[in-house]
């Protein structure tokens, strides 16, 4: 049986044991686990949706990818917002800003090492595939994180910017997690950094 399996199976063993793994300048705890969290959702115009919700652990959001397809590109105006341990952080006032571009990536799409896109596809319909690695700006959390995105945006008067329509959006997150560190209380340590990193 094993001999038969060996005809069709291949193994690759790589890496060195007992060497710390790092994301940018941050050293991951030895008990960190990498998970893929994926969510696909059909959104109405101006609907806001949490695509990532984690709690009761510390961690780091490392890699984000999107695949969004609608009838036009007006969904690009939707803000990208993270809630890290209860505090709100606007990561981009639109999808193009978050993925390090502008003008809906139609004039400045890029394929860079950390952020970028494979382009605005099927321009007549509005299809975006893009990625961002949070390597130099890791999104660290000690207890909870959520990642929100809104399909389009509206002025203060309530009027939408452009004409956002219903669409299908898929967000993929690669997230490192580890057990929550004890609260730092009034010590003044940064609440978004695990105790080991704060002590250093």
Average of per-residue pLDDT across 51-55: 97
Flag whether pLDDT at 86 surpasses 90: yes
Query: How far is it, in rounded angstroms, from Cα 20 to Cα 111?
Result: 29
Is the pLDDT score of 124 beyond 90? no
Query: Which listed CATH number (3.30.230.10, 2.130.10.10, 2.60.120.1390, 3.40.50.720) goes with 36-182?
Result: 2.60.120.1390
- Give yes or no for residue 118 having a pLDDT over 90: no
pLDDT, one tens digit per residue, over 185-195 is 433 334 444 43
Dist CA 138 CA 13 (whole Å): 28
pTM of this structure: 0.78
Tell me if 95 sits within 8 A of 130, measured CB to CB: yes
Q: What is the pLDDT of residue 117?
A: 60
Asked if pLDDT for residue 119 goes beyond 80, the answer is: no
Taking residues 151-167, what's their average pLDDT? Answer: 92
Spatial separation of the C-alpha atoms in residues 83 and 34, rounded to whole Å: 20
What is the band of 19 on the pLDDT scale with cuts at 50, 70, 90? confident
Contact 147, 49 (CB under 8 A): no
Sign of CA dihedral 140, 95, 127, 49: positive
């Amino acid at each position: 049986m094993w001999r038969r399996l060996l005809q069709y199976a291949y193994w690759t063993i790589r890496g060195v044991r007992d060497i710390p793994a790092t994301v940018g300048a941050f050293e991951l705890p030895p008990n960190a686990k990498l998970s893929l969290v994926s969510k696909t959702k059909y959104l109405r115009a101006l609907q806001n949706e949490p695509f990532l919700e984690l709690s009761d652990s510390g961690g780091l959001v490392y890699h984000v990818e999107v695949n969004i397809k609608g009838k036009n590109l007006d969904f690009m105006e939707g803000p990208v917002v993270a809630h890290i341990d209860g505090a709100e952080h606007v990561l981009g006032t639109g999808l193009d800003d978050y993925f390090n571009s502008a003008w809906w990536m139609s004039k400045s799409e890029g394929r860079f090492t950390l952020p970028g896109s494979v382009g605005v596809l099927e321009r007549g319909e509005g299809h975006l595939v893009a990625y961002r690695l949070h390597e130099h700006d890791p999104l660290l959390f000690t207890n909870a994180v959520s990642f929100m995105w809104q399909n389009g945006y509206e002025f203060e008067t309530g009027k939408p910017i452009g004409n956002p329509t219903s669409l299908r959006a898929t967000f993929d997150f690669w997230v490192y997690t580890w057990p929550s560190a004890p609260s730092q209380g009034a010590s003044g340590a940064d609440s978004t950094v695990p105790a080991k990193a704060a002590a250093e």
